[in-house]
Amino acid sequence: MAYPVHRLRRLRQSESLRRLIRETRVSVDQLVMPLFVRPGANIRMAIPSMPGQFQLSIDQLVRECQELRDLRIPAVLLFGIPQSKDERAGGAYTKDGIVQRAVQAIKTQVPGLSVITDVCLCAYMSHGHCGVIQREKGEGRRGKGKATSRAPRPSPLAPEQGVVIDHDATLELLAKTAVSHARSGADLVAPSDMMDGRVRAIRQALDAAGLTGTPIMSYAAKYASSLYGPFREAVDSTPAFGDRKSYQMDPANVEEALREVAADLEEGADIVIIKPALAYLDVIVRVKQRFGQPVAAFNVSGEYAMVKAAAARGWLMERATWFEMLLAMRRAGADLLITYWAKDAAKLLRER
Ligand code: PBG
Ligand code: ZN
C-alpha cells in the first residue's frame, strides 16, 4: 500500500505526534560519564584536545561526582593518571594508587553513584602499552649486533613488526588490578586491554578474593582506532614505540568482533562494550541481535573532539549533533552509552 493512500508525512506534522510514534529514546538511566583522576589537590586541569573535560584531583572529582549523582546519572567510569610509570605498571594495582583512592573517596562521599573502573596497564607503563612487553617481534632476526636485550627499544616499528606481549605476565597484572579496584569499592570493573583470556583471569581472581558479586564490563570489541588520539593525550598513554594493532581489533572485521564477544561472555563478562561507537554501529547491531546481552557503546574521545572542533568553528550545532549521535547508538541497540556528553545529556533531558 503506497501513496496516495499512505502518506508517511501525516505523523510527522507536529512534535506531539512525533513523540507518540518515536521508536528510540535516550534516558539518563543509560548514561555513563568517563572521568579522569590525577594526583594533587584542588586541581581542575583542562584537557586541550577534549574541550570541557578535565583531569581532576580527588577532591574535585568528588564534587563532580556529587553533581552527576544529583543529575541522576547512574555511573561514572574512572581513568587514572598516576604519579609515576614503570615497566610493570605498579601504579595500577598498588593499594594506595590513584584510582584506588579515588574509588574509596567517591564510595564514601557520594552514595548512590556506581563507580566503574577502567582496568588497563597502558597509563601506568613507561612504554604506554596495555601489557607487559616481551620483546619486539623480529628482533632476533635483524642480524645486526646481538639481539639479546629484552628491553624494548624506544624507536618506531615498521607496521609488520607488532609488539609482542608477555601474555601470562599481563593477565596476572590485569587480574591484580581488577581485584585491587574491587577491594577499594569499585562496583564494576572494565578491562580495556584486549588480551585473550583476561575476562576469565579477572573473574577467577575476583571470585578467589571473595568478590563474586563484582560484575565485569569488558571492552569486548575494541578496535585499533585513530579515534583514541585525544584520550591518549589526556592520560599520557601514547605508546612510546609501535602501535596497538597486535592486540586491538582490525577495523575491517566484524565477524571477528562476534567471536571476541562470544569469548568474553563465555569467560564471564556481564556487559560487553563496543568501541568506538559511531563508525561501528553495524557491530552494535549484530552483537545485540546475536547475543541479546547488555551492550555498551563507547562514544570515544575522537568522536567528541570532532564535534567540539567543528562546533567551535560554527560548522555544526553541537547539542543537536551529539544528541543525534547518542540516538543513533541507541537505535543500533546499545543499552548503555559511555559518553563525555553524559553530563550535558543529563541536563538536556532534565530540561525537556
Ligand atoms: C586504554 C584505553 C583507551 C581508551 C579507553 N581505555 C585508549 C587506547 O586504547 O589507546 C579510549 C577512550 C577514548 O578514546 O575515549 N586501554
Ligand atoms: Zn590500555
- The DSSP line for 276-343 is SSGGGHHHHHHHHHHH-S-EEEEE-HHHHHHHHHHHHTTSS-HHHHHHHHHHHHHHHT-SEEEETTHH
- Please work out whether the CB of residue 249 comes within 6 Å of at least one atom of ligand 1: no
**Alpha carbon distance 266, 93 (integer Å):** 26
- Please work out whether the CB of residue 231 comes within 6 Å of at least one atom of ligand 1: yes
CA-based end-to-end distance of the chain: 36
**Alpha carbon distance 280, 248 (integer Å):** 14
> What's the burial of 253, exposed, middle or buried (CB within 10 Å: 0-12/13-18/19+)?
middle
- CATH (residue range 24-134+160-351): 3.20.20.70
Burial 289-325 (b: 16+ CB within 10 A, else e): eebebbbbbbbbbbbbbebbeebeeeebeeeebbbeb
Cα–Cα nearest to 53, from 315, 234, 298:
234
* Residue 308 a catalytic site member: no
Q: Tell me the whole-structure pTM to 2 decimals.
A: 0.93
My answer on whether omega of the bond before 294 falls inside 30° of 0, hence cis, is no
- Please work out whether the CB of residue 120 comes within 6 Å of at least one atom of ligand 1: yes
Cell numbers standing for residue 281: 554501529
Residue 50 near residue 56, CB atoms below 8 Å: no
Residue to probe by mutation, ligand 1, list 232, 245, 307, 329, most atoms within 8 Å of CB: 232
Instruction: Report pLDDT for 160.
Output: 63
Cα–Cα nearest to 295, from 337, 257, 238:
337
Cα–Cα nearest to 330, from 286, 300, 285:
285
Instruction: Report pLDDT for 301.
Output: 98
Q: 222, 288, 308, 343: which is the annotated catalytic residue?
A: 222
Q: Which helix (H) or strand (E) is 165 found in, with range?
A: strand 163-165
Ligand found nearest the CA of 131: 2
Instruction: Report pLDDT for 157.
Output: 53
Q: Distances from the Cα of 92 to the Cαs of 16, 54, 97, 237, 246, in angstroms?
A: 51, 20, 7, 13, 22
**Alpha carbon distance 130, 124 (integer Å):** 9
**Alpha carbon distance 340, 24 (integer Å):** 21
Instruction: Report pLDDT for 139.
Output: 47
Instruction: Report pLDDT for 153.
Output: 52
Residue 124 near residue 91, CB atoms below 8 Å: yes
**Alpha carbon distance 352, 349 (integer Å):** 5
**Alpha carbon distance 246, 138 (integer Å):** 14
- Please work out whether the CB of residue 192 comes within 6 Å of at least one atom of ligand 1: yes
Cα–Cα nearest to 63, from 39, 27, 35:
35
* Residue 95 a catalytic site member: no
Q: 33 — alpha (psi -120 to 50), left (phi > 0) or beta?
A: beta
Residue linked to cell 584510582: 99
Query: pLDDT (tens digit, 0 to 9) for every residue of the chain, 352 residues total?
Result: 799 999 999 999 999 999 999 999 999 999 999 999 999 999 999 999 999 999 999 999 999 999 999 999 999 999 999 999 999 999 999 999 999 999 999 999 999 999 999 999 999 999 999 999 986 544 443 333 344 444 555 555 555 668 899 999 999 999 999 999 999 999 999 999 999 999 999 999 999 999 999 999 999 999 999 999 999 988 888 999 899 999 999 999 999 999 999 999 999 999 999 999 999 999 999 999 999 999 999 999 999 999 999 999 999 999 999 999 999 999 999 999 999 999 999 999 999 8
In the DSSP assignment, the letter for residue 288 is H
Instruction: Report pLDDT for 1.
Output: 75
Q: Which helix (H) or strand (E) is 43 found in, with range?
A: none
Cell numbers standing for residue 120: 588497563
